[in-house]
Amino acid sequence: MARKQNEKIVSLEEFQEKIDRDEKIEPKDSMPEAYRKTLIRQIGQHAHSEVVGMLPEGNWITRAPTLRRKLSLLAKVQDEAGHGLYLYCAAETLGKSRMEMNQELLSGKAKYSSIFNYPTPTWADIGAIGWLVDGAAIMNQIPLCRCSYGPYARAMIRICKEESFHQRQGYEIMLTLARGTKAQKEMAQRALNRWWWPSVMMFGPSDADSPNTENSVKWKIKRYTNDELRQKFVDAIVPQAEKIGLTVPDKDLKWDKKRNNGQGGYAYGEINWDEFWRVVRGDGPMNNERISAKQKAWNEGSWVRAAAHAHALKKQTALQAAE
Amino acid sequence: MKSNMADMVFEGLLRIADDNLILGHRTSEWCGHAPTLEEDLALPNIALDLIGHAQTLYCLACEINSRYKNEDQLAFLRLEHEYKNLLLVEQENGDFGNTVLRLFYFSTFMKYFWERVKIECCFTKLKEFSEKAFLETSYHSRYASQWVVTLGDGTDESNLKMSNAIANLEPFLGELFNNDDFTEMCSQNDFLPEPTSIFDSWKNEVKAILQKGNLDFPDIILKKRGGRKGEHSEAFGYLLSDLQYMQRAYPNSSW
């Protein structure tokens, strides 16, 4: 896609002043190359995460326990496809085509949220994903509604509304299981055990090891650091777990009145960063399966896309001939 | 409602609900595996409508037959021979072309079916529901018809795949239009239209769409049948294993 720019190339200082005045950056505005690249990477990863995220949850659509749950799950997964579409569109405004982003996903060059490289062996995992993974996503995404890049910020407003609905739905699944039979409660606890640490890791490396954070905060792409968001997440989720009688699997979890500038918050145990980096680098439980599933769908669909292309060309030719 | 009328309404609702549930189930299997992201959105959306229709119809059926306490008992806890869906809807998806062609056949049939229910059904609650069902199945039919034309007309390869899909689904179309004693009774009582009464409208529309896609209209004679009597294909047992897994593994639980 050819990139168009408004009147003149602004200097870094002028760009920063615009950001500091809380003015939105729009697609045709001049912007530093690093800003553009950071956003393409971030929005692209976000879009890929929505699309790959359909797989672990889609895994339970045919086996959902009731019609009501089946319908909610279908609606949720469909929302995720919609989020993927908005986000690819937002990234395209920065000059990278969806086709190119898709190829990078399929080749393994582009990343997506590592959380979707974990499996969903039971129904309770659907509850845990909604509650914890969508919960963590909201913590990350609400500040993005105020992100300096206009198309991303606007896409996030709708996405956040839907995500917060998904989170309530997930928590309600867990609540129902926790109040259910012994087997159901055990299923819920095991799912919490599986998803807790990967969810805590969703905020990315700690601030000390996060080289992209400083620029992103300066450019108002990010409003909070990884560790600040992680703290918010832990503080929100721990009381929710207690309320439904489930135990957060962290023996070091305790109230620390010094956290959050003396307002208090939960201190939590050491994060297993080896696991985090292992999964990011491709050695998680489901990395191969997820990408293979997307490659298979893409390859098996190639004749369909080729036919759609050929049909559109024929229609266009017929239309031109008629004129 | 008199008991023989109640039996008729119950059975009639079950047939339509089962068709919708089972096709919804098959359609939902595409989620995350479709040829484009747009189709990854459209197919779950259609599955949502189909299963939503099934849910409403099972609820109506439960109001009539107190043996079943809720819609989930009907959807998840019957034995194989108690499901009354057409063999057409339970067949495996095959490729995307086969999937959209089946959806086109079925939704076009249902569009005309609901249109008739809207006008002549004596069961008020079903008549009311048919307004929404008509609109949604009209959309499904339009969506699927566009793909049938696109794939039929697209490339030599896609045309061949669609011709194969037509041949593959052909044996199951007779059952869609098969009148039996039950459908006659439903029609005589102004409850549901007879399947044969929909045939001409269906044929005209399907033929026109296939023609646009350079595809031949199949012969429609009664070949494979049995679904309405609860006699199903081998593939159906596997579908039920997925569908019923949770309810069977964790009986008497709330979800």
Per-residue pLDDT of chain B (255 residues; tens, 9 = 90+): 777 899 999 999 999 999 999 999 999 999 999 999 999 999 999 999 999 999 999 999 999 998 999 999 999 999 999 999 999 999 999 999 999 999 999 999 999 999 999 999 999 999 999 999 999 999 999 999 999 999 999 999 999 999 999 999 999 999 999 999 999 999 999 999 999 999 999 999 999 999 999 999 999 999 999 999 999 999 999 999 999 999 999 999 999
Residue of B nearest to A61 (CA): B28
**Beta carbon pairs, A and B, within 8 Å:** 139
Reported ipTM: the value is 0.97
Report the first-to-last Cα separation within chain A, whole angstroms. 29
Indicate the residue of B28, B54, B150 with minimum beta-carbon distance to A308: B150
Would you say domain B3-249 falls under CATH 1.20.1260.10?
yes
A314 to B72: CB separation less than 8 angstroms, yes or no: no
DSSP-H helix ranges across A202-257: 213-218, 226-243
Distance between CA atoms of B159 and B161, rounded to whole angstroms? 5
B71 to A84: CB separation less than 8 angstroms, yes or no: no
**pTM, full prediction:** 0.95
A51 to B37: CB separation less than 8 angstroms, yes or no: yes
- What phi, psi does B91 have (nearest 5°)? -60, 150
Indicate the residue of A66, A67, A78 with minimum beta-carbon distance to B45: A78
Indicate the residue of A66, A70, A307 with minimum beta-carbon distance to B155: A307
Indicate the residue of A65, A84, A297 with minimum beta-carbon distance to B33: A297
Contacts of A138 (CB under 8 A, 6+ apart): A160, A163, A164, A167
Residue A83 to residues A18, A106, A158: CA-CA distances in angstroms?
28, 19, 9
A84 to B246: CB separation less than 8 angstroms, yes or no: no
Residue-range domain boundaries for chain B: 3-249
Specify the DSSP element, H or E, that contains A268.
none
Contact residues on chain B for A124, CB-CB shorter than 8 A:
none
Q: For chain A, how many helices (H) and strands (E)?
A: 14, 2
β-pairing, A265-267 with A254-256? Answer: antiparallel
Residue of A nearest to B21 (CA): A67
